[in-house]
Amino acid sequence: MKRIRVSKNRLAVTILAGIVLVLFFATIAGLIYYRDMIRRLGEVQEEAHAEYSRLYAYIADDPDSQLSNRIHKEISEYAKENNCYVEMTGLNLSTTYSKADRINIAISSKVDGIILEGDNSEETIELIKKATDAGIPVVTVLSDCEGSVRKSFIGLNQYTLGTEYGNALTEISTTNYPLSVLILKNGSSDDFIIQAIQKPLTGRFVSISSKEVDTSSQFTSEENIMKTLDELNKMPDVIICLNDKITESAIQCIVEKNLVGKTRILGYYDSETIRKAIEKGSVYASFTIDTKTLAMQSVNALNELNETGFTSDYSTVQVIKITRLNLADYSSEEDKNEG
């Protein structure tokens, strides 16, 4: 009986020692994890409390636009390199604010400058004046705001962009003649592009019509385009899309209506969806903007205005044409940039 008791005691001691060792190593591991978390928290707080000389606001027409988000990313990265901070006003808020509301928020926040995707509405013209009167310079990008007191416009030359679309149509018309073309636009600001599209087509039998698309959401955009196509007596040979959301919606509609290879698309922007469509042949070509250059020029313009009071009134950014011929090289470069 005595031997049995000794064996049980030893077993108990062994188990207890094992538990102590497990707790000891767990405590050590916990301390290491805790120290690592404190270090990371310190790094996050250091980044969050980094001080910049100027605060700028970036205000997009559509905060959900892939193009606008890429531009904001490029602007933010370049601004930090130049001791500035750029926030996209109205992003990640529980309430959806209109463009006018977001401009007013930026003005109330007393930012040092505003980078604004322009339009020609009277409301935007008045709000740019309000910002200017408050001592906040406004630079427009992508689309200008004609008749306003904005300090500079940085973006694509609309005439050049329209001519590029027109030249692409002349390439298509050599194999498909006569040609019917449907232009899907986002508003009256696209009308100048449409006029420029027709210039290279002089003497060619090309029938052009246009339709404005509601791009308040991807679903609404697709629904509008599908309805437009359903109402046509004959499907167009080419659909020209003048913004990124319209392009992706048109691609989806062409697939759903089994028109791939029959109706070709001239798109705008270079998202993954659009690049895949170029590869498959449903998009003949897409035109996009050099976002890095736009980012540098917009931040530089605001810095110049804050430092000297002067900057260039107008700066153009290169139009980039993407087709199957240059897709591989261009895609790989974009993957590097976005990675």
Q: Could you read off the pLDDT of 212-258 as tens digits, one per residue?
A: 998 877 788 899 999 999 998 899 999 999 999 999 999 999 999 99
Radius of gyration of the chain (CA): 28
Q: Is the pLDDT of residue 74 over 70?
A: yes
**pLDDT band (50, 70, 90) for residue 39:** low
Q: Are 206 and 200 in contact (CB under 8 A)?
A: no
**Residue 92 and residue 213: Cα distance in Å, rounded?**
26
What is the pLDDT of the chain when averaged over all its residues? 86
**Residue 137 and residue 312: Cα distance in Å, rounded?**
13
Q: Are 115 and 56 in contact (CB under 8 A)?
A: yes
Q: Which domains does the chain have, with CATH numbers?
A: 54-156+291-317 (3.40.50.2300), 158-288+323-338 (3.40.50.2300)
CB atoms inside a 10 Å sphere around CB 286: 25
**Closest Cα to residue 177, out of 234, 229, 238, 230?**
238
Q: Is the pLDDT of residue 126 over 90?
A: yes
Pairing mode of beta strands 283-289, 319-322: antiparallel
Q: Hey, what amino acid is at 57?
A: A
Ramachandran bin of 271, using left for φ above 0, alpha for ψ from -120 to 50, beta for the remaining angles: beta
pLDDT mean over 69-92 = 92
**pLDDT band (50, 70, 90) for residue 333:** very low
Q: Are 306 and 136 in contact (CB under 8 A)?
A: no
The pTM score is 0.77
pLDDT at 174: 66
| Span 127-176, pLDDT tens digits | 999 999 999 999 999 989 989 999 999 998 889 999 999 999 998 876 65
pLDDT at 218: 75
pLDDT at 32: 66
3-class secondary-structure state, position 213:
coil
Q: Are 299 and 56 in contact (CB under 8 A)?
A: yes
Beta-carbon contacts of 1 under 8 Å, excluding residues fewer than 6 positions away, are none
Alpha carbon 22 to chain centroid distance?
52
